[in-house]
Amino acid sequence: MIALGFLIAWVIKAAQTSMTKPASETATQSVPEEEAPLVQLDKELVPLNGTTLPEATDGTLTSVSAQKLIESWLTAKSAAMGPEHSTDTLDQILVDPKLSEWRGAALDAKQSGAYRKYKHAVKVNSVEQSQEGADQARVLAEVSESTEYYEGDQLQNTKSDPELRIQYDLVKVDNQWRIQNWQLVQ
């Protein structure tokens, strides 16, 4: 399992390296402060295009489906803030206000010639579905994130956040759970 994880990470890194383009200008990229970037999923590789999201078939959100949704978000974030700045899957995972915020951050990063590479690990601690409406839920998760910051093809900085506790606010849209907001918690 570990060897497979390393192999997948190596393939992703090789693909990203071969696709990077030198930038003619460098600038500091803006990213929402609440969650800085990282990207490697410990358990399974989630496809960047055509990401399959947990369906809310019976109206309940499980720990497993919440885990998959958060992993899909972190994969989409990696693609949006990565060298290609692909925002295609953000609208399949996020809704406003976070959707607009992260589309803007990806555009700013692309225009500045900066990008990030992430590694993530996620553990869902709790899932609470609203009793008032079956279309809202709250997920508390522990996220481990490491980030490499690049300007052009040059590594500028690295950051590691091994124990982020994040509360995600979810809503159901078209029978699929989407992330509407999040905040760091103590």
Residue 131: predicted pLDDT? 75
Residue range of the domain that includes 67: 2-21+35-184
Which amino acid is located at 120 in the chain? Answer: H
In a domain, 28, yes or no: no
29 found inside a domain: no
Least confident of 18-22, 85-89, 148-152: 18-22
CA 178 centroid distance within chain: 12
pLDDT, tens digit (0-9, with 9 covering 90-100), for 18-62: 444 343 333 344 444 444 333 333 333 344 444 444 444 455 789
pLDDT at 36: 39
Examine the pLDDT at 104 and tell me if it is beyond 50: yes
* CATH number where 75 lies: 3.10.450.50
Who contacts 71 (Cβ-Cβ below 8 Å, separation ≥6)? 41, 43, 44, 46, 120, 122
Beta bridge partners of 186: none
Burial call 104-118: b when 16+ CB within 10 Å, e when fewer: ebbebbbebbbbbbb
CA–CA dist 39, 81 (Å, integer): 10
- pLDDT of 130 reads 79
Query: Into how many domains does the chain fold?
Result: 1
Query: For residues 9 and 87, which has the higher predicted lDDT (pLDDT)?
Result: 87
Q: How far apart are CA 88 and CA 80, in angstroms?
A: 8
State the chain's mean pLDDT as an integer. Answer: 79
In-domain check, residue 125? yes
- Tell me how far apart the alpha carbons of residues 180 and 134 are, in angstroms, rounded to a whole number: 15
Sign of CA dihedral 170, 148, 21, 31: positive
Query: How confident is the model at residue 59, as a pLDDT?
Result: 58
